[in-house]
Structure 1
Amino acid sequence: MTSKTYAGNYFEDFTVGQELVHTSPRTVTVGDAALYTALYGARFALTSGETFAASMGMERMPLDPLLVFHTVFGKTVPEVSLNAVANLGYAACRFTAPVFPGDTLAARSEIVGIKANRDGKTGVVYVHSTGTNQHGDVVLDYVRWVMVRKRDESSPAPETLIPQLPTVVAAADLVVPPGLTGADYDIALAGSPFLWDDYEVGERIDHVDGMTIEEAEHMTATRLWHNTAKVHFNQFVERDGRFGRRIVYGGHLISIARALSHNGLANAQTILAINAGTHCNPTFAGDTVHAWSEVLERFDLPGRTDVGALRTRLVATKDLPCTNFPLRDESGTYLPNVVLDLDLTLLVPRR
């Protein structure tokens, strides 16, 4: 039988310096924004209301930056992570231009690192991906690393190259959406009186609420973002895999945790950067996600007195309300209920 189908890249197929052009540019619409709200319940005012966006100086209401992240990420899956075991982490992610309904997003990637695992069955691939709009403007730029299955376990291991990645996106490299202003900011409509000046370094915020993941929701999300990785949607394959069932797409967890963070960080109207992130343990349908944030840093944005940057650590757990508990055991391994550890830089209006 002949075949014109595509089985995806395995670990042996990647080489450092390899460039990938991803298929199926995607036009994002108000329908995507509505589905995003239906999936996660996000209610940050800037990306919820046209009138509020206009009051902050925006020409139109932008799409949630994580919707942009998921769309670009999904473009990369067929060439990068179709045969992945799990996505492991992120670094140096910058949102460099707002995206509006009607924009068309495309993606390209470069392989910047590679490392075989000791088990001989998998390896880790480091990927630098860029998302652009229909004008060729870069809207998103990030690195992720992903564990990918080998096609042939007897194939020789490549030379290891692990890229040097920044731990934090520098303030000078952060991009505030053009036209955005924090002047005359309406805290009542935003949902909280606490602005940039009110947060202290070291402060921990329990976001209180929990959200249970339903099977239909995470499956809808993987299809919405064109995420075709088998580990997320093919139970026939995954029943014999490491976990015996499909795992929830890691970006789904990020959006849930971000949505939960509104209760305590309602004025963090947009994400400027994902400095680093780890998917610590798998999450499955039926798990209930909780979240808390720790303020790591509060700093000025160049030339701005109306808005500032708040760097936070966003932690998500499953089936464990967020109290003051350790994240790791004595050996440094994440405890099994910790599912996400994310370092974000958020834009918050100032007094």
Structure 2
Amino acid sequence: MKTNPGRFFEDYQLGEVLAHAVPRTVSGGERALYQALYPARHALYSSDEFARSCGLSQAPLEDWAAFHMVFGKTVPDVSLNAVANLGYAEGRWLKPVWAGDTLRATSEVIGLKQNSNGRTGVVWVRTTGRNQHGEAVLSYVRWVMLRKRDPDAPAPQAVVPDLAPALGADDLVLPPGIDFTGYDFTLSGEAHRWKDYEIGEQIDHVDGVTVEEAEHMLATRLWQNTAKVHFDATLREDGRRLIYGGHVISMARALSFNGLANAQMVVGLNAGAHANPCFAGTTIRAWSEVLDKAEVDAPGVGAIRLRLVAISRGEAFALKGENGKYLPDVLLDLDYWALMPL
């Protein structure tokens, strides 16, 4: 048999390192496609000249685009047969990704736990994306629920990794040379800076975008994500293709420009949950909450910790019901750090 049916829960071993195919060389085309697929217009990623004024050599690839590329490489080995992608933790962007860089990825299995139904289990992996020089550009943990090939296969010893609930400001890696002392607020699109935001403040990003069937499949192919549920309508009883969760992340991040235009570089991923499935025809809206702020060791730069919530309808700032579960209109709950001019 020469085709690959994908891995099942019992195929993973604790400590195993998975080397993922296929290396991907990034060009300016990815930036153009990203901005075509999402209403992305943060200035530092849109303009080489603006990026140079902030101490960088050119505009890097959007941080979430780099994440999607690395993530996509892991799908055939980690989540091809996943029931659900359950969460993220300890994500750090370690180096900017530039046009001309070639990305590859590896994942280490750091946790295993069979579910009580005996038919599925959860696998934790720590994934690292590297450039052509072998330098780590991105690292994160995610955990997925996978089907078992054989329900009677013995359960492995349960190992659940101890993960940090959030990164501290000292854990963040700043791009070399980043400098916001000459930041141009007119060109960035908003006057609001780090000092203007208060912990606990909530921001309704106002705008919405309706997801179309073709665009989400185009985006998922762009990231070389081969998960069958995003393409094959016969895999679900309702005949619908599931929207890749990263598509929702990028859409919500792009919508957050209205109110957070100066939250430029994403440098940390503390946690994330795809709370409810998203399908074509859904209109995505977003709101944010300021969770923390910190000074960092770079001229004119501050770090801001944000909760980004994507909703399909309903009211902004509503997240969970009295039972502690996400409301049915909540699509995404993401906790991340970004860099902002002081």
TM-score w.r.t. the length of structure 1 is: 0.95
Whole-angstrom CA distance in 2 between matches of 1:40 and 1:171: 29
The one-letter code of the counterpart of 1:345 is W
TM-superposed deviation, 1:78: 0.6
| 2:243 is aligned with 1:239 | no
Matching of residue 284 in structure 1 with residue 276 in structure 2:
no
Aligned counterpart in structure 2 of residue 309 of structure 1, from 299, 303, 323: 303
2:228 maps to a residue whose letter is K
Report the 3-state secondary structure (helix = DSSP H, G, I; strand = E; otherwise coil) of the residue aligned with 1:312: strand
> Is 1:111 the equivalent of 2:74?
no
Which aligned runs of 4 or more in structure 1 are off by greater than 6 angstroms? none
Deviations 1:51-84 (A, max 9, x none): 1111111111111000100000001011111111
Give the secondary structure class of the aligned counterpart of 1:23. Answer: strand
Contact 2:179 2:299 in 1 (8 A): no
Alpha-carbon distance in 2 for matches of 1:183, 1:300? 14
Task: Give the counterpart of 1:344 among 327, 332, 336.
Answer: 336
Q: For residue 265 of structure 1, what is the aligned residue in structure 2? A: 260
The question of 1:159 aligning with 2:180 is answered no
Summarize deviations over 1:139-178 as a string: whole Å, max 9, x none: 0000001111111122222221110101111222211111
Residue 53 of structure 1 is matched in structure 2 by: 51
| Counterpart among 328, 331, 350 of residue 323 in structure 2 | 331
- State which of 68, 71, 75 in structure 1 corresponds to 2:69: 71
Counterpart position of 1:150: 148
- How far, CA to CA, are the matches of 2:254 and 2:110 in structure 1? 32
**8 Å CA contact retained: 1:86, 1:231:** no
Secondary structure at the aligned position of 2:241 is classed as coil
Query: Is residue 195–residue 267 contact of structure 1 (8 Å, CA) maintained in 2?
Result: yes
Q: Which runs of 5+ in 2 are unaligned?
A: none
Residue 293 of structure 2, aligned match among 295, 298, 304: 298
Aligned residues: 342
- Matched residue type, 1:33: R
Per-residue CA shift, 1:152-205, capped at 9, x if unaligned? 122222221110101111222211111111011100000000000100001000
> Quick check: 2:181–2:299 contact (8 Å CA) kept in 1?
no
CA distance in 1, matches of 2:239, 2:9: 22
8 Å CA contact retained: 2:286, 2:316: no
For 1:43, the equivalent position in structure 2 comes to 41
Alpha-carbon distance, 1:244 to partner: 4.5
Q: Distance in 2 between matches of 1:331 and 1:52?
A: 47
Q: Is the 8 A contact 1:328 1:335 kept in 2?
A: yes
Identity of matched residues, % = 57
Opposite residue 32 of structure 1, the aligned amino acid is E
